[in-house]
Structure 1
Amino acid sequence: MDASFRCLYFLVLLLLTTSTAIMGNSVKSEFPEALSSPAETTSCSNMVDGKVDCSHRGLTAVPKNIPTTVRILDLSHNKLSTVTPDAFDGLKKLQILSLSYNTISRKSIVMELFKDLANLEELYLNHNQVNKFYENVFTNLGNLKILDLSDMNNGIVKPIPREVFAPLKSLTDLRLNNDLLPSFNFLPEGALPKLQKLELARNGISIIAEGDFKYLKGTSIDNLDLSGNDLTSIDPSCFSGLKLLNFINLKQAIHSEDAIAQVGTALKEVHVTNMSLSMIGLTNLTDDTFNTFEGVPLEALDLSLNNISHIAGAPFQYLTQLGEINLYKNFISNIGPDAFSHLGNLRTLDLSNNSLTKLNETTFQSLTESVLRVLYLEINRIEAIEAGTFHGLGQLEFLKLSRNRLTQTIFRPGIGRDA
């Protein structure tokens, strides 16, 4: 190899080596650093239709680059344990804030945290580690409508000072589920004039005494959730004064016939039209099941997910205004001839997911005076439907029979007219 060729060879080799090094450095300096940049993983500057979604980011601090025009801010499902008092400074247009599913402690939930949030309408603090609230914490939130403080500190919350909720004059929905509150006495009477819904589910409540709900007098409460408690004693006048109460949820909250009787007596003081008695362990319905409910204007009754196997006598004879009965997912195999008597207003009956095997002319004979329009019978074990089964149900418009074992049906298309 002559000298000129050797020079050319080494020059080309040098250029290739230099070029590779430059390209390698370029790739290394641009892409890996960009992919691991903290700005990319913690940025909350991307706003869509007024909403900034910073949930499920593994955040340990509230980002500083949140747009000041944000209306909805979601910081749920992160690793926030502390929030500095200036975290939301300048977010004066914020209407909805979610801090749920973090590990925020009491020390962070202070009045200064909300000082710029006068327009806030919804605040979700549920599933955090706050075990006590400062008296003035919500002073600046006069426009708040929904407040969720459920599932705090693994269900152990110290007595809430009565002054905590006093500034919330616009509040319509208060959620205090699974907080094991030691007392009902956490509100001054009439403190929340616009309150419509109160959730006290899974709080270990066993006794409701006279005056326990006196703080709800003067409110607009129409929805009370007591589900998941273990009520054994209910004072006859405990709901007195709740003139607008319309729905009461007692799902999985009472477990004896005596408790059911106490509920009926207590409801005579109010005008409840909708009630859930789902998952309370009922095994049978008889003449006496609702004998204390006479005069209670119930229009909808949820008895789903119980253990009812028989409907004997006329269990609904004292609930003549019922328009809807939900018996979904019980074990009903036998329906007595008077089961639904006295229900002239009944429009919807759900018997789906039960153990019915055969329908005949006596099954629904007590409904001939009703205005039944919707009947759910799917997911049973029905093998045969005899002639006359739906006779007299002249207003029936919707009948669902799917997922049964039908091998024989003896009825014509005019379901309620001539079958």
Structure 2
Amino acid sequence: MRLLTTLVLLLLLRSAEPRRGPRSGAAERGAGGRVRGRGRAGVMRRQTQECKEYIEAGEKYLDCQDRQLTNVMQDWPKDIQHLLLARNKIQVLRDNMFSQFTQLKSLDLQQNDISMVEDGAFSGLSQLTTLLLQHNGLKTASEEVLLPLPRLTYLRIYDNPWRCHCSLDSLVRTLQVPSNRNLGNYAKCAEPPSLWGQKLKKLNVESLCADDNQVDRRPGVGEDRQPRPPPIKVKPDATSMCHTYMHPKPLLDCSNKGAGSEEAQMLKVTFDLQEYPSMITGNDICGSEEHAQNLNNIPSDLPSDIVKMDLSSNSIKHLRPKQFLLSKDLKLLNLSSNSLQRIDIGAFVGLLYLRELDLSNNSLHYFQYGVLEDLYFLRKLKLENNPWICDYNIHYLIYWLKHHPGVFYTGLTCSEPQEFRGWRVEDYVKTYNGECPMDKQTGGMDTGQGGQGGTENEAQEVVGEMGDGHGELLPRPLKQKPKKFEIIRLS
């Protein structure tokens, strides 16, 4: 009996052990709220660590772009001078949101979901000179937002659906102060319909409140029943097609705006411009069918303070005169991987300080005479993967390069005709005056067809210039006769 009792007790104890396990696990989970909290804090710390911190030109940058952030983290370094928060999920800028970063000189908040900025959002940023808020959902803001920023020099607020009503009056007046020439450039009204598309910098301030009054005074016509204006033709411009980055150097990024790109596919929407225009935002315009098509022309309204411009991987075929006239500070221009076939004389007018020009991966055959004359200080010219035709038209390019020895260039190789394919264009030009094979068979004899005389030393000089690479392939130069002059005595 005792043996049986002992066995029953052992079985009961063993069966109780699994039940204690869950209770123990539950207890862990009960206290585990704190464990998971520590885990979340760890995730936040890892997220902070994902932000790239670096120093350039002696100033500290914190790059937190593309991090899906909805707020500013309190454990970020306080001594940063440039904070990059582009392409996140921030919706509202709260009071004192950045007050801990008292040394900030630039704040990049473009391409978020910002729809509201509280008046004290930028409190404490007395050193800030650059504020980027373009490509967001802002409809209204007041002058109070800018009061904590006495040193603000650059303000970008375009591609926001601004409601040009009384609530925007103080901000518009501030933007239009003559000394604020770089504040709010290119920003446009999205509503009301009577002001749609007008720039805030050029807006008649008196019309902001007048338009509201007119809506209420018209008998039988409410705000929701305003007459539709005629359709407006939307033209691609730099503010809707491209993105601007001010640090470390002002960059206009218009690259890869083709319809096949991922960004264009995301932005592609259809809408009828005859519908109520106030419902059309800057993002809608950017995503219209016209804008979803390949970028096949240089955008209009190019910013004048851009140092680098990237127009690569588009479908631009033709550069017309004076399209970069206002980009006087441009130092780097990337036009690679387009479909460039023609560059007009005067296309580079205004680019006095351009240092680097990338024309690789295009369809250029030659340059017209005079195309490069405006590039006084060019130092690097990329020409790879163009079907250069080695005939008389190619001579201008070699002539210009010869007289600008400080220009480093690459990719100048003959594509046509067949007999010169693969030759360096410089080598082709050196042999341009060589005799044709048929003349070579005659032994250089005068055929009576106006043959030209010369010396054997001249032929040796040309071959010497060629070097050993193609010397054995070169024909001798045509012999030239001295020119005859007739002297006429005038009485």
Contact 1:109 1:137 (C-alpha < 8 Å) held by counterparts: yes
In 2: Cα distance, 1:265 partner to 1:75 partner: 32
Query: 1:340 maps to which residue?
Result: 398
Paired residue secondary structure (1:111): coil
1:90 Cα shift?
Answer: 10
Q: 2:78 aligns with which of 88, 93, 107?
A: 93
Q: Confirm whether residue 360 of structure 1 aligns to residue 360 of structure 2.
A: no
Post-superposition Cα deviations, 1:398-419, rounded to whole Å, max 9, x if no partner, equal xxxxxxxxxxx9469xxxxxxx
1:310 Cα shift?
Answer: 0.8
Post-superposition Cα deviations, 1:340-381, rounded to whole Å, max 9, x if no partner, equal 32232344324399978823264456699xxxxxxxxxxxxx
Structure 1 pair 206/109, CA: closer, same or farther in 2 (3 Å)?
Answer: same
Paired residue secondary structure (2:399): coil
Q: 2:311 aligns with which of 214, 226, 251?
A: 251
1:28 Cα shift?
Answer: 4.7
In 1: Cα distance, 2:248 partner to 2:11 partner: 85
Question: What is the correspondence of 1:256-405 to structure 2 with a 5 Å cutoff?
Answer: 260-263=320-323, 265-266=325-326, 270=328, 272-278=330-336, 281-285=339-343, 288-290=344-346, 293=349, 296-304=352-360, 307-314=362-369, 315-328=371-384, 331-335=386-390, 336-343=394-401, 344-351=404-411, 358-360=421-423, 362-363=425-426
Q: Confirm whether residue 109 of structure 1 aligns to residue 93 of structure 2.
A: yes
Q: 1:52 aligns with which of 19, 24, 48?
A: 48
- What code does the residue aligned with 1:140 have? G
Contact 2:84 2:108 (C-alpha < 8 Å) held by counterparts: yes
Post-superposition Cα deviations, 1:146-183, rounded to whole Å, max 9, x if no partner, equal 64434323xxx547767755654556876668658899
In 1: Cα distance, 2:424 partner to 2:144 partner: 62
Contact 2:363 2:386 (C-alpha < 8 Å) held by counterparts: yes
Query: 1:151 maps to which residue?
Result: 135
In 2: Cα distance, 1:364 partner to 1:167 partner: 63
In 2: Cα distance, 1:361 partner to 1:119 partner: 54
In 2: Cα distance, 1:116 partner to 1:122 partner: 14
Query: 1:61 maps to which residue?
Result: none
Query: 2:456 maps to which residue?
Result: none
Paired residue secondary structure (2:21): helix
Contact 2:333 2:354 (C-alpha < 8 Å) held by counterparts: yes
Paired residue secondary structure (2:27): helix
Q: 2:252 aligns with which of 218, 222, 225?
A: 225
Contact 1:119 1:143 (C-alpha < 8 Å) held by counterparts: yes
Q: Confirm whether residue 127 of structure 1 aligns to residue 124 of structure 2.
A: no
Contact 2:311 2:336 (C-alpha < 8 Å) held by counterparts: yes
Contact 1:302 1:326 (C-alpha < 8 Å) held by counterparts: yes
Contact 1:333 1:355 (C-alpha < 8 Å) held by counterparts: yes
Q: Which has the larger radius of gyration?
A: 2
In 2: Cα distance, 1:389 partner to 1:45 partner: 71
Gapped runs of 5+ residues in structure 1?
A: 56-70, 209-219, 240-244, 369-387, 395-408, 413-419
Structure 1 pair 188/316, CA: closer, same or farther in 2 (3 Å)?
Answer: same
Post-superposition Cα deviations, 1:74-114, rounded to whole Å, max 9, x if no partner, equal 5964474xx6xxx8789893636665544433xx3143333
Paired residue secondary structure (1:263): coil
Query: 1:211 maps to which residue?
Result: none
In 2: Cα distance, 1:295 partner to 1:359 partner: 32
In 1: Cα distance, 2:86 partner to 2:386 partner: 39
In 2: Cα distance, 1:279 partner to 1:299 partner: 19
In 2: Cα distance, 1:304 partner to 1:132 partner: 44
Percent identical residues = 16
Contact 2:348 2:375 (C-alpha < 8 Å) held by counterparts: no
Q: Confirm whether residue 16 of structure 1 aligns to residue 7 of structure 2.
A: no
Contact 1:272 1:297 (C-alpha < 8 Å) held by counterparts: yes
Paired residue secondary structure (2:405): coil
In 2: Cα distance, 1:176 partner to 1:390 partner: 62
Which is richer in helix? 2
Query: 1:400 maps to which residue?
Result: none
Structure 1 pair 9/139, CA: closer, same or farther in 2 (3 Å)?
Answer: closer
Post-superposition Cα deviations, 1:272-305, rounded to whole Å, max 9, x if no partner, equal 44434456652134xx434663883433223345
- What code does the residue aligned with 1:152 have? N
In 2: Cα distance, 1:75 partner to 1:294 partner: 34
- What code does the residue aligned with 1:322 have? L
Structure 1 pair 250/186, CA: closer, same or farther in 2 (3 Å)?
Answer: farther
Query: 2:482 maps to which residue?
Result: none
* Alignment TM-score, normalising by the size of structure 2: 0.47
* Alignment TM-score, normalising by the size of structure 1: 0.53
Contact 2:325 2:351 (C-alpha < 8 Å) held by counterparts: no
